[in-house]
Amino acid sequence: MTLPPPHSRGWVLPSIIVVLTLIAGGLGGVWAALIVLALGFAGVTVFHLVHLYRLQRWAKSSLDHYEPLPEGIGGWGDVLAALSRREKKRVAFQTTQKQMIEQFRRMAEALPDGVIVLDERRHIEWANLRAQQWLAINLEKDRGQPLGNLVRIPEFLRFLADELNETLSVDEVAQRTLVIPSVFDTGKSIALQQVPFGRGGRLLLARDVTQYEAAARLRRDFIASVSHELKTPLTVIVGFLEMLQEAPTEMPEETREHYFDLMRTQANSMQRLVDDLLTLSALESGARAKEEEWFALTPLLQLLQQQTQALSQDKHIVTLTVPEEETQIYGVRDELASAFNNLLTNAVRYTPEGGKIELSWTINEEGRGIFAVRDTGIGIAAEHLPRLTERFYRVDRGRSRASGGTGLGLAIVKHVLLRHQGELNIDSRIGKGSIFSAILPAVRVKKA
């Protein structure tokens, strides 16, 4: 049995009982001493039982809210005070830990990325909301579940697998990236990366790379389209060159001339394509060959009308309507002229002989300037309208090529207008004709 230390108040009660017993023995004899001793022990027992009961009640209280320890008398007072100090320290430590965990959780939720904490068996310990959404995880239900059971994409299972990862260093593991389609958010592409931590734990980071993937796909498609567009005329030219080389003398002059004409047509179409590609790339690079300036619009429109009439070889009626008051436009004249010209060239190419092409310039109530080209041509079905400004998008590929189209005209128009904070509106009825309107913001338009 260990005795309480000498400074403890635990000595007080036994000492009082001993003193009282001795006094009773001295005054009343042995029986009196025994009675006092018995009463003393009974009192001590009750005293301890009461304290024990209060301590037990405290020990059973809920952990959810802080319950102060009961106070005690004598030795119990010392013990309970010491326990209370310990408890307060524990609670303070726990509160700090809780706050840190809560702060970590809030930080992880604020990240634009998804975060999943996995244990050494790749079971889910925690995941932020983004990761839950992208990988269709419900943390409440799935905590402790193997992640591989929830995301059943074969590459993903391989990516998670130990045998692959254990041969790799920590850095190598962190550098491996896997792109998978989001399980839940259809259309999203998610890039995943694993970061080893602690004893075999993994932090799985998920990033939304939909836009990056879309841009990469666009770039791949674009390169494929350009190669295809160049390949067709090149094949024709090479074919004719071979024929001319093989039978240069027997070939009648007329046939040879005809072949040269066909080759020239193909070479011209390649040249137009390369010119348009260079224009588009210059527009996209953001670099400007010329500064923006105020310029008079009517002379430009008159010039465009004449050029359109010449291009049409008088097969169409080309009219121009401008307000009496002269307008000044703020922008790059050559860029706007090339955009307007593309709309006019299209009107000529997609309007049968005898049709009408009307150019007009108006300023609406908000002060915005509208350059419109209305034709009575073949028109465009509604389902094509949203895609017309995509590079190489054509309603009828054969017709576009036959009339010298590159499929880049409207993409150029859109870029030029974007650089001028303008927009392109297309209204068209199949078989009736189209209206292409280039709209410029009011700040770029002033009446002279």
Residues contributing to the site for ligand ADP (CB under 6 A): 342, 346-347, 350, 375, 377-378, 380, 388, 393-396, 400, 405-411, 434
* CA separation for the pair 283, 415 (Å, rounded): 7
290 alpha carbon, distance to own chain's centre: 35
Report in angstroms how near the CB of residue 325 gets to ligand ADP at its nearest.
29
C-beta closer to ligand ADP: residue 132 or 346: 346
- Please state the closest distance from residue 224 (CB atom) to ligand ADP, in A: 17
Q: State residue 202 phi and psi, 5-degree precision.
A: -135, 140
Residue 142 vs 276, nearer CB to ligand ADP: 276
* Closest to ligand ADP by CB, 192 or 410: 410
Integer Cα distance of 183 and 415 in angstroms: 35
Q: Closest approach of Cβ 197 to ligand ADP, in Å?
A: 52
Return the number of the residue (336 or 378) whose C-beta is nearest ligand ADP. Answer: 378
In 166-296, where does DSSP find H-type helix? 170-175, 210-246, 253-285
Helix (H) or strand (E) holding 295: strand 293-296
Candidates 40, 48, 51; CA nearest to 16 is 40
Nearer of residues 21 and 376 to ligand ADP, judged by Cβ: 376
Closest separation between CB of residue 257 and ligand ADP, Å?
A: 28
Q: In whole angstroms, how close is the CB of 350 to ligand ADP at the nearest point?
A: 3
Nearer Cβ to ligand ADP, position 332 or 411?
411
Residue closer to ligand ADP, measured from CB, 417 or 445: 417
Amino acid found at 430: I
> What are the residues whose beta carbons fall under 8 Å from the beta carbon of 164, sequence distance 6 or more?
158
CB closer to ligand ADP out of 350 and 361: 350
Q: How far is the CB of 211 from ligand ADP (least distance, A)?
A: 24
Nearest approach, Cβ of 409 to ligand ADP (angstroms)? 3
Q: Cα torsion for 390, 395, 397, 398, to the nearest 10°? A: -160
- Cβ 335 to ligand ADP shortest distance, Å: 16
Q: How far is the CB of 430 from ligand ADP (least distance, A)?
A: 9
Helix/strand/coil (H, E, C) string of 213-239?
A: HHHHHHHHHHHHHHHHHHHHHHHHHHH
Cβ 197 vs Cβ 119: under 8 Å: no
208 phi and psi angles, rounded to 5 deg: -80, 110
Residues in the chain: 448
Report the residue number, 308 or 406, with the smaller CB distance to ligand ADP: 406
Nearer to ligand ADP, 129 or 430 (CB): 430
- Measure CA of the first residue to CA of the last residue in the chain; give whole Å: 109
- Cβ proximity to ligand ADP: between 259 and 350 the closer is 350
Closest CA to 75 of 103, 102, 55: 55
378, 352 Cβ separation under 8 angstroms: yes
Would you tell me how many other CB atoms lie within 10 Å of the CB of residue 401?
16
Which helix (H) or strand (E) is 424 found in, with range?
strand 423-429
To ligand ADP, the closest distance from the beta carbon of 441 in angstroms equals 23
- What strand order describes the sheet that includes 293-296? 293-296, 327-331, 445-447
Give me the phi and psi of 10, to 5 degrees please. -65, -20
Cβ atoms within 10 Å of 13's Cβ, excluding its own:
18
